[in-house]
């Protein structure tokens, strides 16, 4: 069919918040944060900088690399848990900001698994009789807007950023698709481990919800940790076994960048430590942006060659999890 990744991009906000900065805000230490998470610093959006601003900046970079203009797109998907507003969806706001023509635009809310949910969905739409030709898939998060800066158990973990991927169908049956195989799953029974309780229709914003800090991320840390490791390992094994891919064929494993301890536990259970790409120490957990940032860093630094096999895997609120076997 010939559906290929033609471009990648990222937007990392300028402002850096280091562990030393956090020591001045809550009762924590660089030693605690580094030893429990591997994170040294994270980037935060400027006050007026929105999720769609970062998404549009990442999209423009990806379009440039792909040698395309925005009016060539016929599908735009944005994954985010921090949309600019409840509606319209952030994909339509990005569409306007990058100057794309009228086309299909929607958001995916699958938390940290969102970019992989988006790539799986876009591929399905492009490979189906719907025949979309050029898709822009973005993971974009302004997590600083929903982070409780007085809660030391969560505020040290997250950062803001966006990343984008451009897919194009060259309609050449001899070109192998980027999509070798994918796995997507969720289990709503585990949803209360990681959530933002208020702001939806169950608890609309009120003085009480604001006073009770219910517009912020709430997380059961240790439980999330266990579920993350278990589900990501499981998803990778399903793809590796289903496609009969020997470990040595994989060039890179790109796990969602939540925490270095989660990443290394997943890598060691898979026996693929030396193949793991990680940058969590520089960005913290940027949710649906994290895998896209890794892909873009590898792509722009020439560490991905045509034909390379990449295994991306993610986990997030929902609970959602997903893996994608990519032919570069
Ligand atoms: N600085 C210092 N101490 C902290 C702290 C911080 N930033 N945050 C929590 N603590 C304290 C706790 O209050 C607790 O103290 P207590 O024993 O006196 O009650 C102690 O450290 C241990 O907390 P615990 O939660 O058991 O630590 P942990 O080893 O599980 O590490 C996380 C905590 C959050 C780093 C870890 O559970 C984790 O990474 N979970 C997954 C988070 C994640 O990735 N979420 C997103 C998924 S997409």
Q: What is the mean pLDDT of the chain?
A: 97
Cα–Cα dist 316/259, whole Å: 12
Q: Residue 129: exposed, middle, or buried by beta-carbon count in 10 A (0-12, 13-18, 19+)?
A: exposed
- Among protein residues, the one with the nearest Cα to ligand 1's atom 31 is 36
pTM above 0.95, yes or no: yes
Question: What are the φ/ψ torsions at residue 325 (nearest 5 degrees)?
Answer: -100, 115
- Ligand 1 center to 55 CA (angstroms): 30
Return all residues near 102 (Cβ < 8 A) that are at least 6 apart: none
- Please tell me the distance between residue 271's alpha carbon and the centre of ligand 1 in angstroms: 26
Residue nearest (by alpha carbon) to ligand 1 atom 1 = 28
Domains defined along the chain, listed by start: 3-169 (3.40.47.10), 179-327 (3.40.47.10)
- Rounded to whole angstroms, the Cα distance separating 256 from 277 reads 10
pLDDT along the chain (328 residues), means of 10: 95 98 98 98 97 98 98 98 98 98 98 98 95 97 98 97 97 92 97 96 97 97 93 97 91 97 97 96 98 98 95 97 97
At 1 the pLDDT is 75
Phi, psi of 239 (to 5 degrees): -70, -45
Identify whether the C-beta of residue 183 lies closer than 8 Å to the C-beta of residue 210: no
Pocket of ligand 1 (CB under 6 A): 28, 32-33, 36-37, 112, 152-153, 156, 219, 221-222, 224-225, 228, 258-259, 262, 285, 315-316
Which atom of ligand 1 lies closest to the CA of 259? 44
Specify whether the CB–CB gap between 194 and 217 falls below 8 A: yes
8-state DSSP, 14: S
- Active-site residue, selected from the candidate residues 120, 236, 256, 294: 256
User: Whole-angstrom Cα distance, residue 301 to residue 304?
Assistant: 8
Determine whether 256 is an active site residue: yes
- Residue 28 alpha carbon, nearest atom of ligand 1: 1
- pLDDT at residue 30 in the model: 98
19 assigned to active site: no
């Amino acid at each position: 069919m010939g559906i290929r990744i033609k471009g990648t991009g990222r937007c990392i906000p300028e402002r850096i918040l280091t562990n030393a900065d956090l020591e001045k805000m809550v009762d924590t230490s660089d030693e605690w944060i580094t030893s429990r998470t591997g994170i040294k610093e994270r980037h935060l959006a400027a006050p007026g900088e929105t999720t769609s601003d970062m998404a549009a900046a990442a999209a423009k970079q990806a379009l440039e690399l792909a040698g395309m203009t925005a009016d060539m797109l016929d599908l735009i998907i944005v994954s985010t848990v921090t949309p600019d507003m409840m509606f319209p969806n952030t994909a339509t706001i990005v569409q306007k900001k990058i100057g794309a023509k009228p086309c299909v635009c929607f958001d995916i809310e699958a938390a940290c698994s969102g970019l992989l949910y988006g790539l799986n969905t876009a591929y399905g739409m492009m490979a189906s009789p719907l025949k979309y030709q050029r898709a822009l898939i973005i993971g974009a998060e302004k997590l600083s807007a929903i982070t409780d800066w007085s809660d030391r158990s969560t505020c040290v973990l997250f950062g803001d950023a966006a990343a984008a991927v451009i897919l194009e169908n060259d309609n050449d049956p001899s070109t192998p698709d980027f999509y070798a195989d994918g796995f997507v799953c969720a289990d709503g029974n585990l949803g209360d481990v990681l959530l933002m309780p208020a702001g939806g229709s169950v608890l609309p914003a009120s003085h009480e919800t604001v006073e009770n800090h219910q517009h912020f991320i709430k997380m059961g840390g240790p439980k999330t940790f266990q579920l993350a490791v278990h589900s990501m390992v499981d998803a990778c094994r399903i793809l590796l076994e289903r496609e009969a891919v020997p470990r040595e064929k994989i060039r890179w494993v790109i796990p969602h960048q939540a925490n270095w301890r989660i990443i290394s536990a997943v890598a060691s259970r898979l026996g693929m430590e030396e193949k793991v790409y990680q940058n969590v120490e520089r960005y913290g957990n940027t949710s649906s942006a994290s895998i896209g940032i890794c892909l873009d860093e590898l792509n722009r630094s020439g560490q991905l060659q045509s034909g390379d096999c990449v295994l991306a895997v993610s986990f997030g609120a929902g609970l959602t999890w997903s893996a994608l076997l990519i032919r570069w």
